[in-house]
Structure 1
Amino acid sequence: MTGTTTARAVDAPAWLVEFYGHVDALDTEAVLARFAPDASMRYGAGDPLPGHEAIRAGLTYLFTTYRRIGHEFLGVWESGTTLMLEATVTYGLPDGREVAVPALTVIEHRDGAIDDLRIFIDPTPAQVG
């Protein structure tokens, strides 16, 4: 079972809803396709992941750790090429529990490609093991 991206009463660009649809479907390659080749991604307090191979490794880890991931958009703000997304992220844990965690993501993008994605989240409540 995969998550469901919802953008209730939030004016979110179509590309953002589509991107998080791929995230919630746990589709590594579809998510990775939205990143520029020289992009970087950072999740929580982890080290930045520069380039497609590092991002793929990070996504693979996340997408195989959880049974599902779902995003509920709470707010979207955009200025030029910078977008901020406030969301509640629900993680489906291997033991069947579901844990919701608040997150703020900053996305630098251009020409339909993500240059930098920084996820500010404390995943401690959803840690496995």
Structure 2
Amino acid sequence: MTTTAPSSSALDTNRALLAAADTDIAAFFALFTDDCRFRMANSEVICGRDAIQAWVARYLGSVAGMRHVILEEWAADDVAAVRVEVTYTMQNGTEFTLPAVTRTRVRDGKVAEYLIFMDPSPVRAASR
């Protein structure tokens, strides 16, 4: 097994992605390749930036804001993984924090694959 030095490019892109998720959703989607693959928890894999935008819009419909805190980072070659705590602020002002791990594959400085490992059921329940 070969171990490589961490890819600062993959980590930098991943950090930029999380920062944009918290502050500028248009910038968040601008970091995706046109053919990006996206998966949240046990949902089906979604392919393509436009399809991902539509899915995220439905998922975050009742969310007023998010804040990610990076707890751990790891990267090799074009892949970065982070363990985070994400705080959701709902439209009614309720806040809750969930643990998550994301795994990002970067191609030419953009996100080509974004996998989110977390239990999204509290967000869905709060949206009802």
Q: Could you tell me the TM-score, scaled by structure 2's length?
A: 0.82
Query: 1:26: how far off?
Result: 4.8
Report if the CA contact (8 A) 1:73-1:88 is conserved: yes
Per-residue deviation at 1:94? 2.3
* Larger-Rg structure: 2
Q: Displaced runs of 4+ in structure 1, greater than 6 A?
A: none
Kindly indicate whether structure 1 or structure 2 has the higher relative contact order, using CA contacts under 8 Å at least 6 residues apart.
2
Change (3 A) 1:87 1:58: same
Q: Take 2:57 and 2:27, find their aligned partners in 1: how far apart are those partners? A: 12
**Residue 51 (1) aligns with residue 48 (2):** yes
Alignment of 1:1-129 (within 5 A): 13-27=11-25, 29-127=26-124, 128-129=127-128
Alignment root-mean-square deviation, CA: 1.9
- Normalising by structure 1, report the TM-score: 0.82
Instruction: Structure 1: give runs of 5+ residues left out of the alignment.
Output: 1-10
Deviations 1:37-95 (A, max 9, x none): 11111112111110111111122223432011110000110011111110001111222
Unaligned runs of at least 5 residues, structure 2: 1-7
Look up the equivalent residue of 1:79 and give its one-letter code.
A
- Sequence identity of aligned pairs in percent? 25
